[in-house]
């Protein structure tokens, strides 16, 4: 959007009805679309799907003499004023109980908040289910995620159109856009076709203490998800049944009825673990 025109629709790009005719409005990335649908414009062409699919619209071009002034868009029935660049004035976001926010992470058009009480809030665009509301409907204001009471969220990250949550015990929950595999999970086998399974925060299998692989850090870049993990070499149950022998500089654990053994070497005050077969 360097030229202010629609690179996808060019001169066929529809615009908003104003004063009996069609006025050419030059948009920038991030502005609300001129159709007043409250959806953000496309990153590529600057026009939302509703406007792009409109037909039989009359339009005329208008010189950009006042490009440095605020662009006022008349809405029906309300009036929305958007400054150049589609930015709104800073305002305070009020959450339930006026709790404090620990971290903030932003995607393309949505934001996820992790609060001091470990509750998680989302707000913004929900077209991919990235708000975790269980649907793709629009939401006004912040939405508090409905999470299990027996987990504690310690990290909340937003990708371009999806979100990832990490729990204290190393489990992972994801929701939002899924077509590029960024949720690390697929639709359940018994999921009805009409159910939007990707819109609800759901655990990713294979992470957590029960699986032996613990997520210690998460991140997201665009449609990619990054997870740093730690793998448990032995479990508490293994220690209960294993034979343990040691000397001054090493410790050997021999689990029962297996061909595995673990050799832990004390090296400069640190424990270096090795797993041999």
> What pLDDT is recorded for position 7?
46
> What pLDDT is recorded for position 72?
36
Distance CA 166, CA 27 (A): 37
> What pLDDT is recorded for position 14?
58
User: Which of 70, 89, 108 is where one domain is finished?
Assistant: 89
Distance CA 260, CA 267 (A): 22
The proportion of the chain whose per-residue pLDDT surpasses 90, expressed as a percent, equals: 39
81 and 203: one domain?
Answer: no
- Which three-class secondary structure state does DSSP give residue 97? helix
> What pLDDT is recorded for position 266?
57
Q: How many domains does the chain have?
A: 3
23 and 64: one domain?
Answer: yes
> What pLDDT is recorded for position 258?
59
- Which three-class secondary structure state does DSSP give residue 11? helix
154 and 225: one domain?
Answer: yes
> What pLDDT is recorded for position 245?
83
Over the chain, what is the mean pLDDT?
Answer: 74
Q: What is the pLDDT of residues 84-107, one digit of tens each?
A: 455 667 777 877 777 889 999 999
18 and 34: one domain?
Answer: yes
Task: Find all residues with CB under 8 Å of 65, minimum gap 6, and list them.
Answer: none
Which is nearest to 170 in space by CA: 182, 154, 150, 181?
154
Q: Are 214 and 260 in contact (CB under 8 A)?
A: no
CATH number at residue 120: 2.130.10.30
122 and 213: one domain?
Answer: yes
User: Which of 68, 89, 110 is where one domain is finished?
Assistant: 89
217 and 103: one domain?
Answer: yes
User: Which of 25, 57, 89 is where one domain is finished?
Assistant: 89
Full domain range(s) for residue 49: 1-89
> What pLDDT is recorded for position 46?
55
> What pLDDT is recorded for position 51?
59
85 and 151: one domain?
Answer: no
132 and 13: one domain?
Answer: no
Q: Are 174 and 161 in contact (CB under 8 A)?
A: no
> What pLDDT is recorded for position 238?
72
203 and 244: one domain?
Answer: no
272 and 185: one domain?
Answer: no
pLDDT < 50 stretches in the chain: 1-5, 7, 16-22, 55-82, 84, 268-270, 275, 277
146 and 194: one domain?
Answer: yes
112 and 184: one domain?
Answer: yes
């Amino acid at each position: 959007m360097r030229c202010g025109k629609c690179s996808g629709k060019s001169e066929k790009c529809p615009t908003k009805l104003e004063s009996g005719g069609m006025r050419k409005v030059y948009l920038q990335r991030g502005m609300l679309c001129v159709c007043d649908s409250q959806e953000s414009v496309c990153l590529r062409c600057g026009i939302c799907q509703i406007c792009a699919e409109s037909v039989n619209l009359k339009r005329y071009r208008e010189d950009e003499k006042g490009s440095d002034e605020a662009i006022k868009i008349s809405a029906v029935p309300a009036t929305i004023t958007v400054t150049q660049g589609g930015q709104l004035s800073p305002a305070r976001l009020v959450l339930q109980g006026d709790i404090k926010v620990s971290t903030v992470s932003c995607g393309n058009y949505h934001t996820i908040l992790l609060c001091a009480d470990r509750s998680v809030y989302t707000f913004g665009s929900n077209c991919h289910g990235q708000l975790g509301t269980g649907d793709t409907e629009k939401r006004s204001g912040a939405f508090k995620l409905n999470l299990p009471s027996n987990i504690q969220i310690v990290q909340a990250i937003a990708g371009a159109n999806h979100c990832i949550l990490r729990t204290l015990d190393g489990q992972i929950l994801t929701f939002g856009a899924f077509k590029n595999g960024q949720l690390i999970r697929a639709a359940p086998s018994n999921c009805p076709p009409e159910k939007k399974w990707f819109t609800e925060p759901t655990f990713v299998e294979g992470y957590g203490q029960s699986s032996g692989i613990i997520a210690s850090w998460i991140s997201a870049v665009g449609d990619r998800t990054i997870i740093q993990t730690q793998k448990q070499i032995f479990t508490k149950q293994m220690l209960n049944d294993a034979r343990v022998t040691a000397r001054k500089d090493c410790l050997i654990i021999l689990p029962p009825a297996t061909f595995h053994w673990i050799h832990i070497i004390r090296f400069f005050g640190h424990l270096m673990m090795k797993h041999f077969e």
